Chain A
Amino acid sequence: MSAAEDLATHAPAVEAVPKRAMTLSTGTTIAILAVLVVVPAFAKNFIIFQLTMLLIYGLAVLALNILTGGSGQFSLGQSAFYAIGAYTSAILMEHYDLNYALTLPVAGVICFAAGFLFGQPALRLSGVYLALATFALATAMPQLLKLGFFEPWTGGVQGLVVTKPDAPFGLPIGQDAWLYYFTLAITVAIYVFSINLLRSRSGRAFMAIRDNEIAASAMGIDVSLYKTLAFGVSAGITGVAGGLGAIAVQFVAPDSYTIQLAISLFLGMVVGGVGWLPGSFIGSAFIIFVPNMAEGISKGLSGAVFGVLLFLVIFLMPHGARQIAIVGQQLIDRIKKS
């Protein structure tokens, strides 16, 4: 065994998270959901829009969390799948007049296929090398979208403007509120699906591969199938998020899906806690609100302030938001006991 392999097997890059620890308790989940349902009644449209974006980025972070936290594979290429999803929705809506809700499954399926196919060559790579390969995908995507060949569909550098849907059945709520509830419903569905996936046979296979690939294959797990499957599922969810993002922002352009986005999503995952699914949404809140806060502190040095804040978070809570949740849980337990 070479030194590098030795290192790789003995110090897994992704910490083993037991599947029980991947979710919140039912009571907490329902309470949070109730808050999310009620909020639009009291919030301005702008806040609703921000919450919608929070859910959408949260979905994309969740997808990455399944890949990294679940199956132990890194990806810096999520922005590429997000872009494919966004463009699929936008093109279907604007060129083929398809209903926005119907474009999302299509985006999901196309991205699933793209992710599954990308997973094939990615099988040969692991750890930082895989991260680098996916990084290449993310840097290539904005340029591919600009290609003259695709221009009749993608609109080239100009991008595509997407029409925002109205609330159906004459519901007395605004476009923003409707889109929020629509996104919330999809988010809940995908969240439940993800949790069940990770609790299922496939989920156990993912985690076995994450914890020790050799042991997993010795147990009879088809490692290559499950690795590519994880890529496919992750890309599919990211695609749905991308499609929702396109509808919410009403515009797709190559500049929207740069490597910056992929890094943000990665950041969101780490801040939220790798392998802790609810943390995805906390991570998403971090990548949406903290840059704004940083800008509020200093316009010229917003990047530096953001860096300091990020550093503090990683330094004080190396396991992200999950750590706070665990500490909170312990506190509650102690109070219950005494």
Chain B
Amino acid sequence: MHLNYRLRLAAVTAAVVAFTTGAAFAQKKYDTGASDTEIKIGNIIPYSGPASAYGVIGKTEEAYFKKINAEGGINGRKITFISYDDAYSPPKAVEQVRKLVESDEVLVVFNPLGTPSNTAIQKYLNSKKIPQLFVATGATKWNDPKNFPWTIGWQPSYQAESRIYAKYLLKEKPDAKIGLIYQNDDFGKDYLKGLKDGLGPKAASMIVAEESYETSEPSIDGHIVKLKASGADVFYSITTPKFAAQAIKKVAELDWHPLQIVVNVSASVGGVIKPAGYENSQGILSAHYAKDGSDPQWDNDPGMKKFVEFLKQYYPDGNKIDGSVVYGYGAAQTLVKVLQMCGDDLTRANVMKQAASLKDFTTDTLLPGVTINTSATDFAPIEQLQMMRFKGEQWQLFGDIISGELPD
């Protein structure tokens, strides 16, 4: 029975080896796209086409991951960032995302940009159980963990921001007569809904005039004249940059002096205020959640110093006053945080779980006091903003950090 004994010994040894290595593996769990040395992150963004100005977000993120890799990666793993151009076209977005998932085999799709593109890929990614992490759009529908547990937003939603203005008006100007103009699409309608929700029962009496415009209209001057005629003393401009500048100019031309609120999307000094004229823009209100690269008050801020240092070393082409660069940096930092929290359990389910367990996290670029909080039922990471007023040649923050979160 010598042979038999040997066989048994071999079997036992094999079992022991299998067991121990099995135990070692149990600590490290991977899905497609992650390994001991690498984490593959996919991304789509318009590098070409009508929205190509946002392409710098992808470039900033790429540079940020280069920095992380240069500093040793995440728990020893290097990030491979694969970013494709979708030209802001939904069919192209589907094609590129499928390429990322099925051909490049990424672990997650991170920060895809644009409401139409994200809508196009949402069903596909959710059915494949692949995280659609921190989508770059302000639509409210991304916060829907019940129906889409694999999709999570990042920036404050348009509705949340609008509710903040409503809160401000209710407090500071409860007898306001609001005249508003909104862009007739999902962006405009989200803001409108947020304002109405925020004003609650007083919405009907406070909003005295509502105008909408199409992006195809060459000028919105006619609408502004109507709003002035309505006798409104608050002008809420839910517009994209080109129209926002037109509106500010026209209001000044008409010698109308309402309290003006411009949405965050169009709060850019370079893109809106300067073309509209500094003298016409004094006292305009808006809100923000991130630090403004052009604002000298952050020159000595440790977070912004790190940001500027990063640009110098890894992305010298990046313009620190470009809001998209600040955006990409913040989003990339959030992803890195989530991946660090994942530890050695780099499964898609765990990435989603960690993304939904961020507690009081803050990036270098968020305003002091603005924090990222998520939970299994809250897929809206940033929900706070601070009001700001335009004075001189820059925005000045004032008041407390306000949350636009819906009361449950």
Contact = CB atoms under 8 A, between A and B. Distances in A.
Interface in A35-65: 44-47, 49-50, 53
Nearest to B185: A157
A250 B94 contact: yes
Interface of A: 44-47, 49-50, 53, 143, 146, 148, 156-159, 161, 245, 249-251, 253, 255-256, 258, 260, 288, 291, 295, 299-300, 302-303
A158 B119 contact: yes
B48 A303 contact: yes
- Chain A binding surface, main DSSP class: helix
A250 to B, nearest CB: 6
B48 A302 contact: yes
Counting chain B residues whose Cβ lies within 8 A of the other chain, the interface size class is: 20 to 34
B99 to A, nearest CB: 6
A146 B48 contact: no
B236 interface: no
A47 B101 CA distance: 12
B98 A251 contact: no
Given A157-B186, A249-B120, A295-B84, A44 B90 contact: no
Contacts of B91: 53, 245, 249, 251, 256
B116 A44 contact: no
Given A157-B186, A295-B84, A302-B48, A249 B94 contact: yes
Contact of B85 (A148, A249, A251, A299): A299
Which 10 pairs, one residue from A and one from B, show the smallest C-beta to C-beta distance? A46-B102, A251-B120, A157-B185, A255-B116, A253-B116, A256-B90, A249-B91, A157-B186, A46-B98, A249-B94
A260 B94 contact: no
A45 B99 CA distance: 10
Given A158-B119, A300-B55, 17 more contacts: A46-B101, A49-B95, A49-B98, A143-B214, A146-B184, A146-B214, A156-B186, A157-B115, A158-B115, A159-B119, A249-B91, A251-B90, A251-B120, A253-B90, A253-B116, A260-B49, A302-B48
A55 to B, nearest CB: 14
A146 B119 contact: no
Given A46-B99, A49-B95, A295-B85, A146 B120 contact: no
Interface of B: 47-49, 55, 59, 83-85, 87-91, 94-95, 98-99, 101-103, 115-116, 119-120, 122-124, 184-186, 214, 216
A208 B85 CA distance: 44
25 contacts: A45-B102, A47-B103, A49-B98, A143-B214, A143-B216, A146-B184, A156-B186, A157-B185, A157-B186, A159-B90, A161-B119, A249-B94, A249-B120, A250-B120, A251-B119, A251-B120, A253-B90, A253-B120, A255-B89, A255-B90, A256-B89, A256-B90, A256-B116, A299-B85, A302-B85
A46 B103 contact: yes
Question: Among B119, B124, B184, which residue has the most Cβ atoms of chain A within 10 A?
Answer: B119
Question: Among A46, A148, A255, A303, which residue has the most Cβ atoms of chain B within 10 A?
Answer: A255
A70 B119 CA distance: 39
A141 B185 CA distance: 16
Given A161-B119, A253-B116, A256-B89, A148 B102 contact: no
Contact of B116 (A50, A159, A288, A303): A159
A231 B115 CA distance: 34
A303 B69 CA distance: 30
A253 B121 CA distance: 12
Nearest to A298: B47
Contacts of A245: 91
A7 B94 CA distance: 45
B151 to A, nearest CB: 13
B123 A161 contact: yes
Contacts of A143: 214, 216
Nearest to B114: A255
Nearest to B58: A299
A79 B381 CA distance: 38
Contacts of B49: 260
A50 B120 contact: no
Nearest to B188: A157
Contacts of B115: 157-158
Contact of B47 (A156, A251, A302): A302
A304 B55 CA distance: 16
A253 B119 contact: yes
Contacts of A300: 47, 55, 59
